[in-house]
Amino acid sequence: MDIFLIYLFDRFVYRMANFLRHWYVDSFTSYSRFIIARLEHMDRTIALKVTWRNLFQPLYQERNIFGYVLGFLFRSIRLIGGGITYVIVIVLASAIYLAWAGVLPYILLRIAGQTPAALLYMKNL
């Protein structure tokens, strides 16, 4: 009988550890791959690296003062706008993942707050 209880306890600990690994590690890996794929898709349109490389090149190869000034201005605006877009997407994706990661502790804390011991503690305050 003792071996059976040890086996059940071992399986319980294994399943809890497996669940936590799946909830946090696997979901983070999957979500980060999804977000990186979206950022790569965005980069096809925004093209920050190419824009940065050509920052001081004239616009449409118009090699006069207007081409250089307008090329620098338009590419600078594109770099700033693209950088802001990337920052917004990354911050939003991080907030969504942190909310996802906080669901399990929130549920456990809500359950812990409903125990008879917690209710007695709340009455004594």
**Which tens digit of pLDDT belongs to each residue from 76-100?**
999 999 999 999 999 999 999 999 9
Residues in Cβ contact with 60 at an 8 Å cutoff, skipping those fewer than 6 apart: 67, 71
pLDDT in tens, 40-81: 999 888 888 888 888 888 877 778 888 888 888 988 999 999
The domain segmentation of the chain, as residue ranges, is 24-102
Contacts 24+ apart (CB under 8 A), 62-70: none
Look up residue 83 and give its two tokens: 């950088």
Quick check: pTM over 0.85? no
